[in-house]
């Protein structure tokens, strides 16, 4: 399919006018985040019946696309979590309706299926191979790059049709739609500065003053990375952060002795800020965030968790489902504890898993091993 490259505001407004009348459209993005804190969008690909468009965000603002995303059309994407973040940052919104073909494929037994594998299986089409490390921010984009980018949306609507046909035959369209809506409502992940230390493995192992300093430095680093739009490792590498927490230097010369610290960190305003953060943490440690205590699982229910988990995994195989979509050990424990909002207590999972689990622990059903069928959940009639 041919594609159009949009580089002017008037051309983009024409695209928006067309898309507002479309019941569904395919979307994909190309972006980089290796040198920035926030993903930097380099291209937005859109497709609907009869047309494929590539929008160049380095030539035109993407803000007009917000009308399309907020409209009534169904946005069809593949492995959309990062694309949703990119669209939210670039357009100020995400689609009001979403269908993720990777999630939907999981309900047919294809765990984490790639777009290329779905194209081959569903349409007998091989996508053009592109350079995985291509720099999408360099202009002009080559014909090969544009062809590769267009291929990411050219076939999404056909794959959507293929998935709906098979999901419908199994009665699982609603399951897939519910899971896509859960992803859409999750929104952009929020990285809170006071929680940044949790992402540093070595910092989690520190104790006492070193732990306090590490938490303070991690929060400072996160805030500075956001302000400068730089990856946190550019501001201060993990190795340097942990070394500073352990050494707790009091002067710029002492900064030089810490592993991972280079010239960027030992002079000027950055050095002053680092020393100030360390000094404050030494004398006034940042408070630990209050954690809501998680109730322990009743002792008599603990032995049943691995048994139920094994049954769920077997059921996933029987239903040709991605086991992670059906339910995890953590989901089982949450259901047995009665946690509010547990995945197994709402929607299609409640009927398939939640109710049988409660019948089991309530003594109204039993799990038994059958040589020909594996684990079997049978009702107990009293």
Task: Evaluate whether residue 292 is within a structural domain.
Answer: no
Domain end residue (candidates: 238, 257, 283): 283
pLDDT at site 341 = 86
Residues 200 and 112 in one domain: no
Beta bridge partners of 351: none
Domain hosting 346: range is: 299-379
Query: How many domains in the chain?
Result: 3
Residues 341 and 276 in one domain: no
CATH number at residue 331: 1.10.150.80
Beta bridge partners of 100: 77
Residues 32 and 128 in one domain: yes
Residues 179 and 267 in one domain: no
Residues 351 and 260 in one domain: no
pLDDT at site 290 = 65
pLDDT at site 379 = 83
CA dist., res. 59 & res. 10, Å (int): 12
Kindly give the parts of the chain with pLDDT less than 50. none
Residues 22/52, Cβ–Cβ less than 8 Å: no
* Coil, strand or helix at 374: strand
Residues 331 and 368 in one domain: yes
In terms of residues, how long is the chain? 382
Residues 221 and 251 in one domain: yes
Which of 102, 14, 9, 79 minimizes the C-alpha distance to 51?
14
Residue the block writes with tokens 């409640």: 350
Neighbours of 171 (CB within 10 A): 9
pLDDT at site 382 = 52
Q: What's the first-to-final CA gap in the chain, in angstroms?
A: 65
CATH number at residue 55: 3.30.420.10
At 274-291, the pLDDT tens digits run 999 999 999 998 887 665
CA dist., res. 343 & res. 317, Å (int): 19
Task: Evaluate whether residue 291 is within a structural domain.
Answer: no
Q: What share of the chain is helix, strand, coil (3-state, %, to 5)?
A: 55, 10, 35
Half-sphere exposure of 35 (CA within 13 A, CB side): 3
The H or E element spanning position 360 is helix 355-361
Residues 160/99, Cβ–Cβ less than 8 Å: yes
CA dist., res. 186 & res. 283, Å (int): 38
CA dist., res. 261 & res. 240, Å (int): 5
Task: Evaluate whether residue 357 is within a structural domain.
Answer: yes
* Coil, strand or helix at 26: strand
Residues 262 and 221 in one domain: yes
Residue the block writes with tokens 């544009």: 146
Task: Kindly state the tokens that stand for 260.
Answer: 């991972």
pLDDT at site 155 = 97
CA dist., res. 54 & res. 147, Å (int): 10
């Amino acid at each position: 399919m041919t594609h159009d490259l949009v580089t002017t505001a008037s051309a983009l407004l024409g695209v928006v006018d067309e898309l507002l009348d479309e019941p569904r459209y395919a979307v994909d993005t190309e972006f980089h985040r290796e040198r920035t804190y926030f993903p930097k969008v380099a291209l937005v690909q859109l497709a609907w019946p009869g047309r494929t468009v590539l929008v160049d965000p380095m030539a035109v603002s993407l803000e007009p696309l917000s009308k399309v995303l907020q409209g009534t059309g169904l946005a069809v994407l593949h492995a959309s979590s990062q694309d949703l973040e990119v669209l939210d940052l670039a357009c100020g919104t995400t689609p009001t309706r979403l269908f993720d073909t990777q999630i939907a494929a999981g309900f047919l037994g294809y765990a984490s299926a790639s777009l290329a594998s779905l194209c081959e299986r569903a349409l007998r089409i091989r996508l053009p191979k592109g350079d995985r490390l291509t720099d999408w921010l360099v202009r002009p984009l080559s014909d090969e790059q544009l062809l590769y980018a267009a291929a990411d949306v050219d076939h999404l609507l056909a794959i959507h049709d293929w998935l709906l046909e098979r999901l419908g035959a199994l009665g699982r369209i609603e399951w897939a739609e519910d899971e896509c809506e859960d992803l859409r409502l999750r929104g952009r992940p929020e990285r809170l500065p006071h929680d940044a230390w949790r992402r540093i493995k070595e910092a989690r192992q520190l104790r006492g003053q070193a732990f306090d300093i590490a938490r303070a430095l991690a929060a400072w680093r996160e805030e500075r990375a956001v302000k400068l739009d730089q990856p946190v490792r550019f501001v201060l590498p993990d190795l340097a952060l942990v070394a500073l927490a352990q050494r707790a230097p009091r002067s710029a010369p002492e900064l030089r002795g810490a592993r991972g610290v280079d010239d960027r960190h030992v002079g000027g305003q950055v050095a002053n800020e680092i020393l100030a953060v360390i000094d404050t943490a030494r004398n006034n440690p940042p408070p630990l965030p209050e954690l809501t205590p998680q109730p322990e699982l009743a002792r008599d229910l603990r032995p049943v968790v691995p048994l139920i988990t094994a049954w769920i995994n077997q059921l996933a195989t029987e239903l040709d489902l991605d086991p992670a979509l059906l339910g995890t050990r953590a989901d089982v424990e949450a259901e047995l504890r009665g946690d509010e909002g547990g995945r197994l207590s709402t929607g299609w999972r409640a009927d398939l898993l939640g109710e049988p689990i409660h019948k089991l622990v309530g003594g109204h059903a039993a799990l038994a091993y059958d040589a020909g069928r594996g684990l079997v959940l049978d009702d107990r009639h009293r």
